[in-house]
Amino acid sequence: MAEISTPPSVKAARPRVVVVGGGFAGLSAAMALADMKVDVTLIDRRNHHTFQPLLYQVALAVLSPADIAQPIRTIFSKKRNVEVLMDEVVGIEADSRTLLLHTGAKISYDYLILGTGSTHSYFGHDDWAQNAPGLKTIENATEIRRRVLLAFELAEREMVETGAHTMLNFVVIGGGPTGVELAGAISDISKLYMRHDFRHIDPSKARVILIEGSPRILAAYPEDLSQKAVQQLQQLGVEVHTGQSVSDVKPGYVMVGNQRMDAVVTLWAAGVQASPLGKMLGVPTDKRGCAMVDIYLNPPGHPEIFVCGDLAHVEEAGRQIPGVAQPAMQMGRHAAQEIAQDMAGKPRTKFHYFDKGDMATIGRHAAVANVQWPFKAHWSGTLAWLSWVSVHLFFLVGFRNRLFVFFSWAWTYLTFNRGARLITGSPILPGWGQQEGIRPQILDAPLDLTSPRPPVTALSSRPERSEVESLP
């Protein structure tokens, strides 16, 4: 890719910088620009910044949404040169340096920083989204929480009414960090945190099944850490199936090849694609829709535009920089630095990704860490888990958030009690009662505890059957 280092001409005495996206890249860029002699407009569809690495803890009822989110206006309340607009960009006129907004308004810019991130990719099967939600937003997290918790509630109700209940199989598709975190957290919540909450079912009998199409989970991590992750997941009771591809996702089950695997809840963590803004630029994109940019983070022919985070395809030493939080923050700060260098009449510097390492949590006292700075090491177990806790507390936005999350974790750790187990929204669970050999469950029928009912039997007394047992 050609390197572009010629700065654009800046007509205004105070350049107008528009930042699109309030994620890690956009927030880091706007914070750096807030101390410069520029006018900044930050645009996002939502009014809050979400700390995505902790979304799975909202999804599994460890934390409340407010613990990991902060209003963007609050973050910049004391930065007088930063304005915040809650809107959506629907078009980019790069030649005239103009953005088209969903409300019909237009906004001009001298510099544009795009950091709108990525969304789920179902590899051409968008109809799967209804049956297998992914995890990118607060809304996704609360929907996953609703489905997981509702499955246990419906099992308890069915047990009281009939003396048996649908098998509690939770299937997570995708063995990357998000899939591993979700699988481990579901196992934790069922075996540790809900063991005393129900009278007629045993939550610890729930099955958690992780399916990964490639030969190993956490494929971006060193092989020894991948193996450590498998061992820790298995110790938590998670069934790990690698080299297995999902061919269909239906209410109540998934198809693995030509074999059916029953699932009361199916979660998607198998693929991502860039936001549509990458293609709106009219520049070359990769197969995920990421804009191809040079080492200065500029798309071809547009030195006034910077693309950062998941939306950018930037390569260093022949490898694509990963689309995770750490490089996104570094890109956002670098884009702001390039603008400062333009204003000072200095030549631009190339972006360099400072890789400090990667961490993935698996469960209570279970994690893996590929440490690259200040020394190199491969950690797993309690040491990696404590490092993960410390790092995520440090980078969480807002003192209040850090304090609340710390006390929530401490309370959960000491008491085995998770206080965010709230079911909101619909009482309908897609696919409930549609497992093979199970009668359909009438979800809206009132529960009459005064009428005679069959005696309650132990969960283990009901014959268990699932096609997953035939998988290798």
Choose among 283, 277, 276, 317: nearest CA to 298.
283
pLDDT at site 459: 39
How confident is the model over 324-383, as pLDDT tens digits? 999 999 999 999 999 999 999 999 999 999 999 999 999 989 999 999 999 999 999 999
**Under a CB-based contact definition with an 8 Å cutoff, are residues 140 and 127 in contact?**
no
pLDDT attached to residue 377: 97
Average pLDDT estimate for 73-81: 95
Q: Cα dist. 275→101, 116, 155, 281, 457 in Å?
A: 15, 6, 38, 12, 50
> CA 110, CA 395: separation in Å to the nearest integer?
30
Provide DSSP, 265-320.
Answer: EEEE-S-EEE-THHHHTTS-B-TT-PEE--TTSPPTT-TTEEE-GGGEE-EETTEE
- Can you tell me the mean pLDDT for 1-15? 53
Tell me if 427 sits within 8 A of 445, measured CB to CB.
Answer: no
Specify the higher pLDDT residue, 434 or 396. Answer: 396
What amino acid occupies position 91? G
The mean pLDDT value of the chain amounts to: 88
Comparing 171 with 460, which gets the higher pLDDT? 171
Render pLDDT for 40-54 as a digit per residue (tens, 0 to 9): 999 999 999 999 999
- Please name the residues in contact with 290: beta carbons below 8 A apart, sequence gap of 6 or more: 274, 278, 310, 311, 312, 313, 323
Nearest to 360 by CA among 62, 56, 118: 56
* HSE toward the beta carbon, residue 406, CA cutoff 13 A: 13
The residues assigned a catalytic role are: 181
